[in-house]
């Protein structure tokens, strides 16, 4: 581990209650200090509480849920917000929306995942959908977190992150 500052990654989804929350928590768990993940949405849940099944899925996977909340992406465009190195949309709705201007023009990518909160069925079926979504996110993040430092420059980062969407 070097003394380099962590790479800031912002995961976006419309409601910031399921996929982006799973991605934020998973990257912070898997990143070993090389990455600092955040999440936000264009229309976050009013109560600022992530989907309870997302939190339950993370807890069952041994991933901390401390500090997770649904929040608007506008807070990351403020002058005192952390500088983002990479912004990743994780749902098709957010990918098509006009994002705010991000200071520093971070690299961007889209990693689409089906919305587990839209699955209909028993609690077991719904929980399995969240578990599968977390598994898909973790599989991509395993590759991402194992990248050498040279792959994390802005242009290389954008190309690599976009290529990972195809996996």
Measured CA to CA, the distance from residue 160 to residue 144 in angstroms comes to: 8
CA 161 to the chain's CA centroid = 12
Domains defined for the chain, CATH in brackets? 7-154 (3.40.50.2300)
Question: CA 9 to CA 92: how far, in whole Å?
Answer: 18
pLDDT 10s per residue in the chain (167 long)? 445 789 999 999 888 999 999 999 999 999 988 999 999 998 887 777 899 999 999 999 999 999 999 999 889 888 889 999 999 989 865 555 556 666 677 888 889 899 999 999 999 999 999 999 999 999 999 999 998 877 777 657 777 777 877 76
Where do we find the tokens 């991402």?
144
**What is the DSSP code string of 32-88?**
TTSEEEEEEBSS--TT----HHHHHHHHHTT---TT----BGGGGGSTTSPPPSEEE
- Please state the pTM of the whole predicted model: 0.88
> What pLDDT does 1 receive?
42
Among 161, 165, 162, smallest CA distance to 35 is for 161
């Amino acid at each position: 581990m070097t003394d380099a500052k962590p790479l800031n990654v912002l995961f976006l989804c419309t409601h910031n209650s399921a996929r982006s929350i799973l991605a934020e928590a998973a990257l912070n768990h898997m990143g070993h200090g090389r990455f600092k993940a955040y999440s936000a949405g264009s229309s976050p849940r009013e109560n600022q509480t992530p989907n309870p099944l997302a939190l339950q899925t993370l807890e069952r996977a041994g991933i901390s849920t401390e500090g997770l909340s649904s929040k608007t992406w506008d807070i990351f465009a403020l002058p005192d917000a952390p500088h983002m190195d990479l912004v990743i949309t994780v749902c098709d709705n957010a990918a098509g929306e006009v994002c705010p201007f991000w200071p520093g023009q971070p690299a961007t990518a889209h990693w689409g995942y089906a919305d587990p909160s839209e699955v209909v069925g028993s609690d077991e079926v719904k929980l399995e959908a969240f578990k599968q979504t977390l598994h898909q996110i973790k599989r991509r993040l395993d590759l991402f977190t194992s990248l050498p430092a040279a792959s994390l420059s802005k242009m290389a980062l954008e190309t690599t992150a976009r290529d990972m969407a195809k996996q």
